[in-house]
Structure 1
Amino acid sequence: MKKFIYKITLVFLVLLTTISCSDFLDVVPQDKILESQTYSTEDGVQSAHNGLYLLLADDNLYGRQLTMDAVEIWGQQYNMNSQHSKYLTATYAYTQPEPKVTIAGIWEKAYATILASNKFLESIEEYHGVVSQEKEDLMKGEATAIRAMLHFDMLRLFGPIYKVAPSNPAIPYYDAAVTVNNPILPADEVITKVLADLDLSLSLLANDPVLTSGKYVATTAFDGDPYYSQNRGLRMNYMAVKFLKARVLLYMGDTAAASVVANEVIDFAKSTSFFTWTPFLEATNAANPDRIFSSENFFAISDYNLYVKQQALFDANLEDAKIYAPLLNRLTAVFESNDNDYRNLPSWKIPASGGKTQKTFFKYSDVVDKTKNFRFQIPMFKLSEMYLIAAETATTKDNAIAFLNTLRFNRGLTNLPLTANVTTEVTKEYKKEFIGEGQLFFYYKRNNTTSIPNGSAASGNVTMNELKYVVPLPDSEINFQ
């Protein structure tokens, strides 16, 4: 955050040294002129709003590090032994140069995007009337939810193990576009602010077209402008915010409230055709497999560089020291030797080229039909997670097993017996369901799991503790607090 404060200060100092005091009072700053031009038209407002989603797809955020790269390495999803270029990251050597660069990049881009969200919220208020009130509310609701989501994920990374030390210092929270560093707050205060933002967002999104028309279909709502009514599944829509609220409540340990919200989301999915389980034949289609289960996604980001990243991280032609891939026996253990699980074969195959004997990751590979609406999408919030939250928070074991069996049925698996251990089975599903989506590390941290499978060894575990789960704040933040 300090980097941006420095830039603003520098511009201010340059102005002071190039004009007289009297002249200075008559000058309209260049950034204010640009802001006025942007927010003077509806097209400009839409561009500024859409820019927030482009920022979310950045490599340092959900376009790579927070989905398929750093957080997956910390979750031990890949084999990154001592010969691998990411070995230091995989061993939680956070103070070493390479991991420090990654950590700083995540932090700075997250807070830059929070700053952009706050600036959008303040500017659309300042230039009120350029768009209708209902359009303004919709965009403000989305921007507020983006702000909440980023703060929550920074808390999950840099904050304490919440179930152990909820009052420990965590991160700063920014709900205004200020040019000074905000203080670092305790984790529970951050959660309070996240939930307040989510509730505000829900109130602003009360008329979201996703509630009546679903994720993709343009409607006559909002003057028939497709920017507001179409592709709601690629926006922080009302149901996506509900979804995030359930995730936050579970993280803070309020299982009763998390259960209520998760079941609300599940009931909505059941009562409409907007968020449906992806059929087996679509997930496993030879030419156009829907490996991300797009019909189930309450929110996904569009990343038009997705296939470049697929090649950079997972391509079979990469040398062993560069490729992100698991040991074959570890992957087999995750899927319990079950090829019927259609999270397995479509996304994991021994490649025809590259000389690799282990399976490599194809989840984000392109498909033949370039008109498929799931092209370039990275899942953010998926229906399966609501069933896992509902199972984890169910008040009876029978209900918990029923939620798990619904998920398993829709992944090609047989039912669990009522004697199954719920925690064990939920953990298994997190390992299978979210590979390349960045949720396993956070699951382990939320539960303070003390031992996790070592992705870089054929057997054995990594002992986990606070030093590994709590990613240290970057120097750029520590030095200016």
Structure 2
Amino acid sequence: MMKRLFIISWITLLFISCGDDFLTKFPDDAVVTENAITTIAETQTAVNGLYALMASQYYYAASLYFYGEVKGDDMQCLYISGRTPYTMYTFDQSTQSTGNGGLWGRPWYTIRNASNIIQAIDNNKITDAQSDPDQLNDYKGQAIAIRALAHFDLLRTHGYPYAKDQGASWGVPILDHAISLTEQPIRNTVAECYDFIIKQLKQAIPLLSSEKNNGQINAYAAQALLARVYLYREQNKEAFETARDLITELEKNRQYYLAPRNNYAAQFALNNKFGSESLFEIAFSASDNPGRDGLAYSMHWWGYADIVATKDFVDLMAEDPDDIRCQLLDQVYNGQEIEQNIRYWLMKYPGTSYGVPSVENNYMVFRLSEVYLIAAEAGLKAGGEYRSPALSYLNDIVSRANPDKSVSDAEFTLDRVLKERRKELVGEGHRYFDALRNNQTIIRKGGWHLDGIPEEINWDYTKCILPIPKEQFQMNPNMQQNPGYSRE
């Protein structure tokens, strides 16, 4: 499990507030300088601090998953509240609102601290570097990969999908160094951002260890991220080849492998952290967790019960009752046990028992099943010689779910692949992004949906991406705002 080293003198250096104004102002004592990292041990502490930042409720412990799920059509809020899931479900987002969930500020803090680690290593500040150069390279690789991931997360929440205009619209600022107090970065295009992220990952992967390192990024996790980034950027041949090469390598060494059908649901149990498919997950424990602010508490029936499956998704799963993934939908009752009050809890984040929610669940960032589905989608889009192996990867997922099912070549369409992604990756923060980047219209009508929510969303909907927070324009008037949002 990931070790987090919380040393008092580092807390002020590594952790900063969760507001959205990082690119315009930040306190001097919140800046990690390269001079604060002078040994391999201090480098390890700084890298662990990056994972701690990612493990915030404002990032990978809650907000990013809320964003990817309740804005889509497979998960929804159950009732009206002022909490982040509801504001995201209703698209209640403006330059002045808190409905953005911290998804601007927290990734930038992560980028800032990652850049300082990289600079300390590159500027030869590590006095004992020669004592373990491989370990130091791995720490540098982790910092580079995390910086790339944070840029990617900012880009897909605040920039339009690449396919909308081939990346010509505004993305986010590219920061490849530790920003100074006087810099005023403006936004690069979406295409420029993707080029930077891909370049960063290609730099990180050779530095990273391929050993399993629970709760931290290794070479295989970075390769999975690269495949995902290629897919989002419409570089389908590269996405397929990257995913295929990763699958082939793992089939040889068996360090990671698809969970078998008879163990499918069990892989999500609380006591099965870091399972066979887990390329990278955010790690928590009984003493180190986000408490009730985490994703699991919102999705548990005896927690906040903020988030349940939509009727559309339940109906989708009901098409094949023998699909093993149906076991992850548990029927609960909202009030009296009558049909119209039935709701369905997704059991990917269970507690110790049905009636006891957990606050120490881990949250999956990269799972091997997604890599197979990236290969399937990318190979389908690339066509030609890629089509047949892509279909085979899709059927690895389909036939595991139900050995009596498979997809024929005639049935191998984008809609069929995205349907499989819905069924396999529900609750893991993908659905909204999948629909948006493929210009599909998300329909949220009827069923159990609450009144007053946006019912049809695609990449032409004004609020399909988040605004740049207003604080950014106060000290950096050159920063660009997204269309349809004000600067105030």
TM-score by length of 2: 0.78
Backbone CA RMSD of aligned residues:
3.1
Number of equivalences: 424
In structure 2, C-alpha distance between the alignment counterparts of 1:251 and 1:288, rounded to whole Å: 30
Higher mean alpha-carbon deviation, 355-364 vs 150-159, is at: 355-364
The answer on whether the counterparts of 1:39 and 1:123 sit within 8 Å (CA) in structure 2 is: yes
SS of match in other structure, 1:185? coil
1:20 matched residue in structure 2: none
* 1:303 CA displacement: 2.9
1:242 equivalent to 2:242? Answer no
2:68 matched residue in structure 1: 71
2:58 matched residue in structure 1: 60
Residue 186 of structure 1 is aligned with which of 181, 184, 189?
Answer: 189
* 1:283 CA displacement: 2.8
The answer on whether the counterparts of 2:280 and 2:364 sit within 8 Å (CA) in structure 1 is: yes
1:379 matched residue in structure 2: 364
1:323 equivalent to 2:306? Answer yes
1:196-345 alignment to 2 at 5 Å? 196-205=199-208, 208-210=209-211, 215=212, 232-285=213-266, 288=269, 294-304=275-285, 305=289, 308=292, 309=294, 312-317=297-302, 323-327=306-310, 329-345=311-327
- The superposition leaves residues 401-437 of structure 1 with CA deviations (integer Å, 9 ceiling, x where unpaired) of 3221111122235212332142121111121122221
Residue 437 of structure 2 is aligned with which of 446, 451, 454?
Answer: 446
* 1:172 CA displacement: 0.4
1:136 matched residue in structure 2: 136
* 1:49 CA displacement: 1.3
Change (3 A) 1:96 1:107: closer
Change (3 A) 1:285 1:389: closer
TM-score by length of 1: 0.79
The answer on whether the counterparts of 1:391 and 1:403 sit within 8 Å (CA) in structure 2 is: yes
Q: Identity, % of aligned pairs?
A: 22
The answer on whether the counterparts of 2:93 and 2:466 sit within 8 Å (CA) in structure 1 is: yes
SS of match in other structure, 2:363? strand
In structure 2, C-alpha distance between the alignment counterparts of 1:463 and 1:286, rounded to whole Å: 33
- The superposition leaves residues 259-296 of structure 1 with CA deviations (integer Å, 9 ceiling, x where unpaired) of 11111111112112111111233334599578888311
Change (3 A) 1:104 1:398: closer
In structure 2, C-alpha distance between the alignment counterparts of 1:291 and 1:334, rounded to whole Å: 27
1:14 matched residue in structure 2: none
Change (3 A) 1:279 1:446: same
Change (3 A) 1:2 1:457: same
- The superposition leaves residues 381-405 of structure 1 with CA deviations (integer Å, 9 ceiling, x where unpaired) of 1112222122123235443332211
The answer on whether the counterparts of 2:270 and 2:361 sit within 8 Å (CA) in structure 1 is: no
1:439-478 alignment to 2 at 5 Å? 439-449=430-440, 451-454=441-444, 457=447, 462-466=456-460, 467-478=462-473
1:401 matched residue in structure 2: 391
1:221 matched residue in structure 2: none
The answer on whether the counterparts of 1:317 and 1:354 sit within 8 Å (CA) in structure 2 is: no
In structure 1, C-alpha distance between the alignment counterparts of 2:201 and 2:267, rounded to whole Å: 40
* 1:188 CA displacement: 0.8
1:110 matched residue in structure 2: 107
1:162 matched residue in structure 2: 162
Change (3 A) 1:101 1:405: same
Which is higher, the Rg of structure 1 or of structure 2? Answer: 1
The answer on whether the counterparts of 1:313 and 1:324 sit within 8 Å (CA) in structure 2 is: yes
The answer on whether the counterparts of 1:277 and 1:293 sit within 8 Å (CA) in structure 2 is: no
2:357 matched residue in structure 1: none
- The superposition leaves residues 179-231 of structure 1 with CA deviations (integer Å, 9 ceiling, x where unpaired) of 223221111111111111111102322xx142xxxx2xxxxxxxxxxxxxxxx
User: Which residue identity is paired with 1:110?
Assistant: P
User: Which residue identity is paired with 1:160?
Assistant: Y
In structure 2, C-alpha distance between the alignment counterparts of 1:310 and 1:354, rounded to whole Å: 23
Change (3 A) 1:128 1:82: closer
Change (3 A) 1:285 1:163: closer
In structure 1, C-alpha distance between the alignment counterparts of 2:227 and 2:332, rounded to whole Å: 38
In structure 2, C-alpha distance between the alignment counterparts of 1:354 and 1:458, rounded to whole Å: 15
In structure 1, C-alpha distance between the alignment counterparts of 2:77 and 2:361, rounded to whole Å: 27
The answer on whether the counterparts of 1:307 and 1:364 sit within 8 Å (CA) in structure 2 is: no
Residue 389 of structure 1 is aligned with which of 374, 379, 399?
Answer: 374
Change (3 A) 1:55 1:455: farther
Change (3 A) 1:81 1:134: closer
The answer on whether the counterparts of 2:37 and 2:126 sit within 8 Å (CA) in structure 1 is: no
Where do 4+ consecutive residues of structure 1 move more than 6 Å?
A: 289-293
SS of match in other structure, 2:324? coil
